[in-house]
Amino acid sequence: MSVRVKTIAGRQVFAIMATFFGIIIAVNATLAVFAMRSWTGLVVENGYVASQGFNRDLAEARRQAQLGWRESFDYAGGKLTLVLRDAQSRPIGRATVAVTLQRPSTDREDRQLTLIETSPGSYESAVALQPGLWDAEAIAHAATGESLRRLYRFQVRGGDAQ
């Protein structure tokens, strides 16, 4: 019985190598395109400049804490709700409330909402959110001139927060 040995010629080696490196280059190019089209992860343009406001932001947070305001934030049934109460548990009415909704990993679904007072101290807006993780920045300006800024992170599953 004779064993036939098949040899690989130069053109076949070239074709194998060209195919191998062609696949590697195509995958790298695809990943580079996806990386350029997705969120950059950039939070601020210049970290040093942003840090210059740290003491101001800290003083503002302390001022807000001294107000003693209590708030409750909720997203359920396609409705975003913020309830504001003062230090004596009285509703804070006639406020202007703006909410910025963002995804933690992309800016494609960012949106701004103005909440409407539906009862004293209770502010709402209808909004349909896709399932996943969301960040909300709520800024309330009371008729007395005081203001409150709060950040919330919540999970939406099937249209309701968890």
Note the pLDDT of residue 37.
83
Domain boundaries, the chain: 61-161
CA distances from 5 to 2, 8, 17 (A): 9, 10, 21
Intervals of the chain under pLDDT 70: 1, 159-162
Structure tokens at 71: 């708030």
Note the pLDDT of residue 117.
98
Note the pLDDT of residue 22.
98
Residue corresponding to tokens 């103005």:
114
Considering the four listed CATH numbers 3.30.450.40, 2.60.40.1220, 2.40.37.10, 1.10.10.10, the one that applies to the domain covering 61-161 is: 2.60.40.1220
